[in-house]
């Protein structure tokens, strides 16, 4: 089995080029992969309760209401 070649890049791989892909499509694919790799804000628990408990933007200025 030593004469097996490594598999070619799959379409899901970020570094590989997809045949027939335009430069714009490649840029968009790389951009979305970069955005997906960013750390996400915490979900649930105390953080979410604090976010929900915040005062709405207009509620702090009662004189602005009609």
> Is there a contact between 58 and 50 (Cβ–Cβ < 8 Å)?
no
Q: Residue 46 has what pLDDT?
A: 81
Band (4; pLDDT cuts 50, 70, 90): low
10 vs 33, higher pLDDT: 33
> Is there a contact between 65 and 58 (Cβ–Cβ < 8 Å)?
yes
> Is there a contact between 42 and 50 (Cβ–Cβ < 8 Å)?
no
Average pLDDT, the chain: 75
Classify each residue of 7-38 as buried b or exposed e, where b means 16 or more C-beta atoms within 10 Å of its C-beta. eeeeeeeeeeeeeeeeeeeeeeeeeeeeeeee
Q: Tens digit of pLDDT for each residue in 32-64? A: 999 999 988 777 778 777 777 776 666 667 777
């Amino acid at each position: 089995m030593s004469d097996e070649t490594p598999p070619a890049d799959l379409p899901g791989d970020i570094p590989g080029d997809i045949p027939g892909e335009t430069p714009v499509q490649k840029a968009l694919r790389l951009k979305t992969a970069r955005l997906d790799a960013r750390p996400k804000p915490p979900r649930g628990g105390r953080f979410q309760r604090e976010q929900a408990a915040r005062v709405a933007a207009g509620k702090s200025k009662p004189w602005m209401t009609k």
